Chains A and B, each alone.
Chain A
Amino acid sequence: MIVVDPARIDAAEQFAALSAAGAGGIATFVGLVRADDGVATLELEHYPGATEAALQRLVDEARERWALIDARITHRVGAMAPGDVVVFVGTAAPHRAPALEACAFLIDRLKTDAPFWKKETRGDETRWVEPRGSDDAAAARWTL
């Protein structure tokens, strides 16, 4: 299940929606807006259509590589504040290893493969976030 939406993400609601029928383990990653050096607002831009398709490809690949019962990615777009949930990734599997590995795969590859762009506002100053080399390295470890 893929959701890209400006609505506030409730992590407990997302967790409850993760289909756990028959699961022996559930793994989740919840990304929050950091208040780095006084960030007041974070704006997330995306590429409608292409973003959802990129996330769906990641979920499809995760389901091919690991025995999963369910996988869901919910990503917020638009303006948000420090402490808000930006992204929820959840996986359910018969055992812990596929759940944990697939969850890490999904968030690592989302960072490099899905078209989202972050803009931070501090006081009167706005700046587009630059990509980090460590994100490329984290995504590359999942290359087969």
Chain B
Amino acid sequence: MLYFAWVRERIGRGGEMVDPPGDVVTVADLIGWLANGSAVHGAAFADPARLRAAVDQVFVPLDAVLGSAREVAIFPPVTGG
């Protein structure tokens, strides 16, 4: 897992290794599983409408299937430029 911007700040680290169970199929499932696992993740992921994701560095909607993903990033909407 990789976290950026206020998601990173609320979780308190930029990344971590996780090993989700088999019923975690989509990015949204993964967010829900992490949120249920700790109060810190639960607070950071309280409003999924404010979260965006990338799977193996490609932007995807939260209902995207994880498949054999090795790197999942969770972050707020981007604000560059």
Contact = CB atoms under 8 A, between A and B. Distances in A.
A119 interface: yes
A129 B6 CA distance: 10
Interface of B: 2, 4-6, 8, 54, 57-59, 73, 75-81
A120 B5 CA distance: 12
A52 to B, nearest CB: 10
Contact of B78 (A107, A114, A119): A114
A47 B6 CA distance: 13
B81 A87 contact: yes
B5 to A, nearest CB: 4
Given A50-B54, A53-B57, A119-B5, A44 B77 contact: no
B70 to A, nearest CB: 13
Given A47-B2, A50-B57, A116 B75 contact: no
